[in-house]
Structures are given as structure tokens and as C-alpha cells.
Chain A
Amino acid sequence: MIWRHPVFAGLTLALTLITVASEEVGVSVRDAWVRKTPPGVAMMAGYMALRNDTSQSQVLVAANSPGFETVTIHRTIVKDGMTGMVHASQIELTPGASLIFTPGGYHLMLMNPKRTLRAGDRVDINLEFRSGLRLPVSFEVRK
């Protein structure tokens, strides 16, 4: 029984780990930043460039952070001549797809920061995908 052979089992395990690892580096984030807000303001926004280099679709379903009370995936839209925000309950990235979170578009709405954030500070936000993938991202606070 070759699959019971320790070398084979080890090899299988190693291959599995490599697959998992490459899946994890396969979803990447660049240019992650949070806009510093005026004093006393409880609402902030986070921006980033998200890219899926895995071979499967990745669906972003939630985000959370130890630095904020809540993190919601939002999109700024224009409807009836007015700008407003809608909650994006899930965002699918097909293999090779990128999505830019940018002012006036998709953003992470960050409510009630747990400490005062200054320009240059870093704050961690975790991105949660339907596949179970959890991607911790360090965001830089910028003026």
C-alpha cells in the first residue's frame, strides 16, 4: 500500500501544505491605507488594491480589526444625483482579478477606532474570504 508509505504520506502532506501556502500568498493586498480623520470623528475609511492570483474565485465576505469596533465593506455609489453608501455583502474576485478600494468607490468603513490614530501609525485589518482564507493586512494611516 504505497499511500501508507511514510515517504509518500510525507510527500502528500508537503504538497498539501505548499498548495495551502500558495493559496494564501495568492490573494494579495498592496497600498493599504486608512485616511486620518479630524479629531472626534468616529468614522474612517480604509483603501487598498486587492488581487486574486489563486486558481479559484475568492469571495470577500467580511472584515474585522482589533483596532475598530466594526469594519464593514462599503461602496460609495451615485443614485438619483446623490452620493450614498451601500453595504457590499460579498465581493467575488475571479482568478487573476483585481479590485481597487479607492476614495469614491469601494472602501472599508471603519467605525469607532479604539485609539487615536496618527499619520504613520499602522492598524491591522483582517479580510475574511468564503473559502475560509483569512488575510491579515497592515494598513498605514495617512493624512
Chain B
Amino acid sequence: MKKRPLKSSIMITTVALAAMLAGAWLAATYRENDSRAVLLPDQVMTLFPDPKPLTAFALTDHRNRVFDLASLKGKWSFLFFGFTHCPDICPTTLAILARARDNIAKDAVGAENIQIVFISVDPNRDTADKLKQYVTYFNAALLGVTGDDAQIGNLAGQLGAVYQVAITPGMENYPVNHTAAVFLVDPQARYHAVFTPPLDAEVIRKRFKVLRELEGAKAT
């Protein structure tokens, strides 16, 4: 059982304050080393101008390959925690992310350097094969990932994600609770932004486009 860290409550408060200040939002407020988190006006994406570098973790993807810190480097990663026995929020979110990916693919830069990763917090039921069937249904480019509880907890903790799996003997349909946000990790494997529901594919595309342009401009 994981509790939301105090840090994330402080962060939410900071975000709310930042939102009130955000008149002219991105260009004006986005500054290197600015510790304020910026909630964009549509209340969907929270940006961390001081992205947090992630540390080592070890999971396995749906093709039984290692998925670790190195797997996050060189790509923008959209991470979503869930489980396949989830009738409502998981398929809804994955369908939106798959559509967002299609929309991003139509942009000039394309979707080559992005990955959408579904992290199952229910390894008890979600085997690699199950994950493969599940994620590739939404989009062939989606990646399903899971691992042991300690390693899922490791990555979840670094992102402030929380989950509870109430495994009950003899109960096929035990409840699983999880954070519904989508975490955006940048190509330097830093936690850079978070999208909070209700999500929309086109809003994600637009926000990501601006962010990627800003980051691309910084790199050159």
C-alpha cells in the first residue's frame, strides 16, 4: 500500500497557485531552473520547469525484454499505470493515448521518438502475453510493462503514482486502484510533465508539440 507523498500535496498547491499567476502562460513562465510547476490554462497538463531525473529501476516489457532507465532515454515516454482487468478507465485512457500518438505522428516531427508505456500494477494476472494482446490492440506501437511489486513501486514512487492491489484468494475480480494520470518523461529520463484526467487526445498532441519544440530549441 502506498500513500501519496506529502511532496505531491505541496506540488498540487504550488500548481494551483501557479495557475492563478499564469496569465501569459508558456513563453512567459517557462524558464530554466524555475522551480514553479506550471498548470496550463486547460488544467490538463502540469509542467515541471525543473524536471526530476529518474533513478534506476528494472521492469520487463511485453516481449520479455528488460525495461529500465536506459529504455526511457532518447525518447519522450508517456507512462500510464493500470491493469488489464480494468473495464473503464484503463481502456479509455489507452484509447486516448493511442489516438494522441496517431495525431502526433501527423505533426512534422512525428511520433518516432515517443513511446507510450502501459505499466501493469497487477503482475499476478498480467503476464507478458496478456499485456502484449492488450496493448497492441490499441496501437501496435504501445508497450506493456510490468515486474515485481518492489520495482513497480520503485518507478511509481519516483513519479508520485500510487496504487493498491487487493488480491483476495478465490476472487477472480479483485479490486485494483491506481493513479489515473499520464506521466511524461523526457528523453533525458527526467519526469517532465503530467497529464491529469479528463484527458483528450488532441489536447495532449497540442501540449506535447509546444513542449517538444521548446525542448528541441533548448538543445541546439
Contacts and interface: CB of A to CB of B under 8 A. Distances in A.
B142 to A, nearest CB: 11
Contact of B89 (A39, A41, A104): A104
B161 to A, nearest CB: 9
B85 interface: yes
B88 A104 contact: yes
B138 A38 contact: yes
A42 interface: yes
A80 B162 contact: yes
Nearest to A75: B88
Contact of A81 (B8, B88, B135, B198): B8
Interface residues of A, number: 26
Interface in B95-146: 95, 130, 133-138
Nearest to A45: B87
Contacts of B134: 38, 40-41
A51 interface: no
A131 B81 CA distance: 41
Interface in B154-197: 162-164, 173, 175-180, 197
A38 B180 contact: no
B159 to A, nearest CB: 12
Nearest to B136: A38
A76 B89 CA distance: 8
B92 interface: yes
Contacts of A74: 87-88
B180 A83 contact: yes
Contacts of B92: 35, 103-104
Interface of B: 3-4, 8, 84-89, 91-92, 95, 130, 133-138, 162-164, 173, 175-180, 197-198
